[in-house]
Structure 1
Amino acid sequence: MPTFHLHKIQHSIFLLAAFLLQFSSLHFPSLGYVHQDTYFINCGSDIPVNENNNVYIGESNSNYPKKSFSSNSYSESNQSTVPSPLYQTARIFHSESSYEFTTEPNNTYMVRLHFFSFSSPINLYTAKFNVSVPGFSLLQNFDAKNTTNPGLIKEYFVKIIRQKFKITFTPQNSSFAFVNAIELFTVPTHLIPDSIARFTYTGSTGRGLSTYSKNFLSRALETKHRLNVGGENVTRQTDNLSREWLPDDSYITDPQNAKDSPFFGGTLKRDPDDESDGPNSNKYTAPDVVYQTAKETLNGTNNISWSVPVEKNTDHFLRLHFCDIFNQQSLLTIFFLYIYDNLVISTVNDGADVSSPYYYDVVVRSDGSGLLKVSVVPNITSAKPNAFLNGLELMKVIESSGPIPLDISDSNSKISLPVVVGSVVGGLVLVSIAVVLFLWVSKIRKQKPVENSEWLPVRATAGGSSHSRLTDGTTIQGSPLPNINLGLKLSLLDLQFATENFDAKRIIGKGGFGNVYKGVLKNGMTVAVKRSEPGSGQGLPEFQAEIMVLSKIRHRHLVSLIGYCDERYEMILVYEYMEKGTLRDSLYSTNLTNILTWKQRLEICIGAARGLHYLHKGAAGGIIHRDVKSTNILLDENLVAKVADFGLSRSGPLDQHSYVSTGVKGTFGYLDPEYFRSQQLTEKSDVYSFGVVLLEVLCARTAIDPSLPREQVNLAEWGIFCKDKGILEDIIDPSIKGQIEPNSLRKFSETVDKCLQDDGSDRPSMGDVLWDLEYALQLQRGAVHREPHEDSSSSASVSIQLPNVRRLPSLSTLTEMDDMSIGMVNDESNSAEDSVFSQLKIDDAR
């Protein structure tokens, strides 16, 4: 096994000459920006914006970039509430246009592009365009639909070898391009290596490390993930390069094997000159706070693994951060690093001092799964078996799309004597200014961070106002939230009364959003009160989405909202109390008298399928739930199923599209692998998740169970394997094995198989799923008599009374403001007693 190079966080000596060179072309529109080749631009505006101690200069500033705008380019303004003042304006392009910057050749730059589709006559979220820089295509066929609240920031690392650097926006046919803000600045010289090892593998055997390239920086990099393992969100204000580090909890595959571990105390062992060795300092690799938290093995013997979504069959730059914050003595913790279950490094922590940060870099090509798996494995023969990880960064490698054109200045080798003399004199004059400014700026400069993950939700920060945030221009998906049903609004005082001031004894469930309390309103109605907690995984956008959906649709098999509260820091949703809890509760109940029969399980699945079918076809524009799972299917006292939790819901694609481009959200184990890989959400994504629920109903086991052997961990994969091998009966819930009519089981298992097809186009619609489940129920009841193992797909000639499953007409039209507009509708099957529907305890909901 080749030795893998260890990068200690040691710091180079400060080079005054290099520093002065950076200052040799200083300009002074804002004292926060030291280099000529540092740019912060407020696009579409001539007004500077101060954001996070940075001044984003308006486009008209003479010291900022040359513009090559098309004649039909113009600015667009937004007067409604936005998440950042940078998003009040945008520059619109109807034909190819560019910004041109003066840069320092042969330096690596950070390029950040801000996109936010605020409400405007032109409907920014309909934009489709490309973005390129010399030699690289950064964005191809970019669809602005996913640039709604809270906006999208794309981050790239590009080595610039010329004195001029253009960022070009090219609209697609009949569309347009836009941008809200641009950041361009140099990064520390050694932040990205020019020579790096490459990990290669073939299946489970051929593998090894080799030199990837001695010219790695000839590629560009696009940031995909930056994770603070074992810690909280690291904000842009904290990171010294304005990066955002997100928690890793959504990606760890075996959380039962790991624990979050804080720093044992003291300080990290940095070089004493760390604060003064200039732009080449390796302190910029990661902030201290990243190295001061980690996930470590729970008992020192278990493996810990993370699976992060990636583009398939593509090179990625992986950086893993380590710091032994657990031990007072060095050389105790030695462990192994695996990628895709193949050994990469056999002696992680070889000789590293305690509290001394270090990191490993490697290029790895992703496989066809759409996931990249990283594992740390304890060496049980070491003095103190343990394994840990502090941070993870993943960037897509972008190969060159063509030669980089020469600058006119590159061909001019004759430099006049006056220019030389002027440069020398100017440099001497600027020396003293540079030193003074450097000392001052290094104390106060904080750059705007990047929002670099399209896969994790961005937490919303609660406002401090005492009035409602939903009725004063607050946005959802980038647009004002219209027509909020104020009749559903409940006062905080009433809810405090209903829950005995949110007494702990009233808690009936807990999830990522917060606690769920059982309460009684003044009119005597028993309710479930879901109250958010500050810093919860579900924030204001999900809160607003739930209100928007549930206040405007009605169906017997969809949970119904009774009210909401939005006072001061509170975000509270109120539902009718559901006596039987979640489907998951009933499936895993240890009370023998509460075990669901097979017939009851089929009826529950049918009810849930009806609710989802209605979401897809009965509401205006269609709604995709995006988080179908057993904890989001609720049961009333009569075991009537209702689909719940619409915080992640999205309106379906417009007629000319088959999908919605959006960041991936959902729950591992239920998540559609095609959506996971492509970020293209369709109705068939819900169908896949529902297929997992069907298996869960049949087997009464969780979607992901890390305690089982490796091949059985994922229920969907294991269930399909068992069906294909003809041993599905072996994994059926023992409590119902003798109840299932063979043909009913055959039809049910065929339905599961179709739902779990890897390609969404091969899956049935939810209407077809509903038809098949009704048929399975009729077979169970004996309404259709068939021979065992008869091909249930040839059922067209069988006379059977099945529901009239059809595409319901659109009952309302989508407005142009956002993708969550839903018409007020009522299901024909609703009875009088179904005027309200509700949600109760969710043990592991978001």
Structure 2
Amino acid sequence: MEMIQSYKIRYPLPSILFLLHLLSLHLPSLAYTVPDKYFISCGSDTNSTASGRSFIGDLTSGNSGSFTLTGQSSPVRDSNKSTATPPLYQTARIFREQSSYEFVISSAGTYLVRLHFFSFSANLSAALFDVSASQVSLVDNFSVPNRSDSPLIKEFIISISVGKFPIYFMPQGSSFAFVNAIELFLAPENFTPSSAPLVGPAGSMGSYNDILSKALLPIHRINVGGPTLSPENDTLWRYWVPDDSYLFSRDTAKNSSSLSSRPNYDGFSEYIAPDLVYQTAKEMNINSNRASNNFNITWVFNVTKNAVHFVRVHFCDIVSPSPGALLRFNLYIYSNFSREINPYEKISRLAVPFYVDFVVDSDDSGIMRISIGPRQDSGNKTAFLNGLEIMEIMGELSKGARASDPKSTGVFVIVGSVLGGLVLICILGVVLCLGRRRRKPKAAESLGWSPVPVHRGGSTDSRMQAPEGAIFGPSTPILNLGLKISFSEIQFATNNFDMEKKIGKGGFGTVFRGTLRNGTEVAVKRSEPGSHQGLPEFHTEIIVLSKIRHRHLVSLIGPAINTLLPLQQVNLADWVMLCMKKGMLEQVVDASIRSEINVNCQRKFVDTAVRCLEEYGVDRPNMGDVVWDLEYALQLQQTPRPREPHEDSTADTSAMLALPDIQLLPSLSMSEEMDHMPILRVTGSSSFSQLEIQDAR
């Protein structure tokens, strides 16, 4: 083995300090200012003003070069010229074929996109159309009621890169599309996170990564404890509605307010939510006449069924008399997830706004419950909430629409320019060291993308992602599978990983349903950055699945950087447990043999499997218990004695089994109250394994 000598380059501390000072002088101003583009009055030859925004008519010369129109379209104006209708909604642009507004984006980042619709005539209410952007469908089968009291506004949050950004309007059949106004403007820095904790009805599910690659559709924006907020009252022209109609029990909560002074933002962006959200709140309605004041405040929201939602919860302590009250309380999502909320964890001041983000997976009920409640270790046993936002996470954006953080981009460009010389010296040193090596490395397969972390853990800080041309070492297993599938084939099969084809999520990433060009129906497991498993585990799974041969399990048929698995083999344990909770255990058995399975045998088998999946080793049965339970399940299947579904399959075993020369007691699941368990010692049954196990686990 050759030794490579390393060299250290030392720089005096004053030089480094001077360099950092020089760098700070050249950093651009990163303060957010309210944007003035793009605000378009569609089909108009004049400008309009609404809620402090100046909307430019798309027929005026003021839009020269800022956007272009494609396809066949024409302006239309309200012939009635009603004074009750705002000027912004007295004109529209109609589209007879697929057409678009194509905007020029000069700054990458997260953008707010708002589409305004108002049917000022019966003709417009007959429109039926779709709208899409960045290969994501924003609205489907859309129509606007005639002469509603207020315009219908659809808002989306989308990450966009520098370049052209088209918004397509697509009529259905012989119909047409229309739009009255469009807003497209840059949001503040860090307006949307890249990842957040993932929560489901059953509790915590790890982390949801790459939020920025999705489009967000706000469906609830709640000013808790306060009035309706219109665009005139909001820093980014948003609507907020009161929370009273969403309360599960109004008697549990009361309104609180602190309108005399602004919140102490203390570096926090006032554009995340306006003052009036943080100056009002709901807190526990504590009553000394109650038998107990240990209760929760619960809000119930209608959400999209079986969809993923981005949830932002806003807090600002305006209820405590002083920070010394040491207030802390719990936030609950559904009933199996809780998070401690400590308003003074970072700053010991009253009325300091902060928020907590989650990604919440809904079930088929279409209901999301969010609660707050007191903690016993809190000095002030109450809880409060100021605001809440729920946004549906829509489809994957096209690569051209995704944007990097402009702040980070600008800083790194400048840092790279200033420190480029130092980096160049380091690179030259490495090249010289590598040049001394006599052996050439063995050729290995080059992979263009490896999102799987090398080590365990889902932190994006600890993962190692291979750049283009990266070479994995000899520890990478060689997979001699009979079929290799191109990535483009997987994209075709899954419609470019359409979220509507999502069927589950495992430790390595999301699972999608798909159909290959030859008609084979498959499920694709796509590894993701920040997944909870490492590269060795990922390879191990591929190797194991490629060797499985069973008539009820279909083996792995091929890799294409992302793992490709046939259906009924993904997330099986979670599915079985879900069926068991819902009383549909028969669904886990192949329909062709379902009638042959003894229900008590199946129940005993599943019960054994569930106990083996307990998180802690002390809660799992030892090997002797498992062997006994499995053999017992086999006897239940083979016995001719009929049993009712409600009967305990662990009772009355002597009436069914004739076991010569055997000393045993039931497993812990059969008699958990016994203090001592004898050794399982089997010597004379042809049906039972010849085992003598003490404390194997």
TM-score by length of 1: 0.41
TM-score by length of 2: 0.50
Which is higher, the Rg of structure 1 or of structure 2?
2
